[in-house]
Amino acid sequence: MDSVKAEDKYVDINGLELHYLDWGNRASRPLLLLHGFMGHAHVWDAFAPEFRKEYHIIALDQRGHGESQWSKEAAYSIDEHFSDLAKFVETLNLRDPVLIGHSMGGRNALFYAACVPERVHRLILVDSRPGNTAKSSNALMQLILKFPVEADSLAQVVESIQSLHPYMPVTTAYHIALYGYTQSECGSYVPKYDARMSLHCQKAGYSAENMWQLLKNVACPTLVVRGEESPFLSREDAKKMCNLLPQAVLREIPHATHMPVQENPDAFKKVLSDFLSER
């Protein structure tokens, strides 16, 4: 990891205390990072230093994840996420941000960009499905089933992560496990995210809200990224997304499944740099 560390910060949003990492350089354009389901802000720790000189980078722990507070009512719909994101951007006065969202975070970023298109400078969707297929729903089921709700050690969590993302380096998988789990009083390791979200997914048949009709409302240039071997977002659906988005390009990351940012970081950084430098 880079020697430069982010600052831990907290803000009250819609009655919940949300945690975020702030990498400084506040005079520059905001680049807001949104993790995926069961993730946390620290999944971006290796990525952020590469761009912190050009952008004001912020990584948010979305409600029910990481160090952010859980919803008492288990309110985790895309509407609640939108409300959080809108209030967060307003509270921090993040003007014309670049939004990068992975999976669930990408869906939340897409929803925000479609609802308030004039407020987003650029949008990067990383392996985010806008709808449902049997394969993508099965991939979500496998993700939930393979992430242990209780583990004897972090090594067990790392093994589960690498079984899902075989191209991910063990050091990266350990970093994700370290910040994604906490040790209980009995010595076992349990996830930091609110497990009630997993129950909601199961009850919904591992489906997601259909967002295809919203794509046409996104006004800013958009980069659609998928891992070349992703079970969540097919190449056909990624191409369809680009056809519906007014200004979109598709880039596939080789040697990557559902977490291309962490599985093949050099390839992702090159793709992102090229996209952000385009006028």
The answer to whether 113 touches 128, Cβ cutoff 8 Å, is no
pLDDT computed for residue 1 by the predictor: 45
> Domain map of the chain by residue range?
7-133+211-277
Q: Which tokens is 137 given? A: 């729903």
CATH 3.40.50.1820 fits 7-133+211-277, yes or no: yes
Q: Which tokens is 169 given? A: 């380096």
Counting residues of the chain whose pLDDT is more than 70, the rounded percentage is: 99
Q: What is the pLDDT of residues 165-206, one digit of tens each?
A: 999 999 999 999 999 999 999 999 999 999 999 999 999 999
Residue 45 has pLDDT above 70, yes or no: yes
If DSSP codes are grouped into helix, strand and coil, which group holds residue 165?
Answer: coil
Alpha-carbon 258 to chain mean position: 11
Mean pLDDT of the chain: 96
Quick check: pTM over 0.95?
yes
Q: Which tokens is 93 given? A: 């006065």
Q: How many other CB atoms are found less than 10 A from the CB of residue 71? A: 18
Average pLDDT over residues 56-76: 98
State phi, psi for 207 to the nearest 5 degrees.
-95, 170
Q: What is the pLDDT of residues 210-228, one digit of tens each?
A: 999 999 999 999 999 999 9
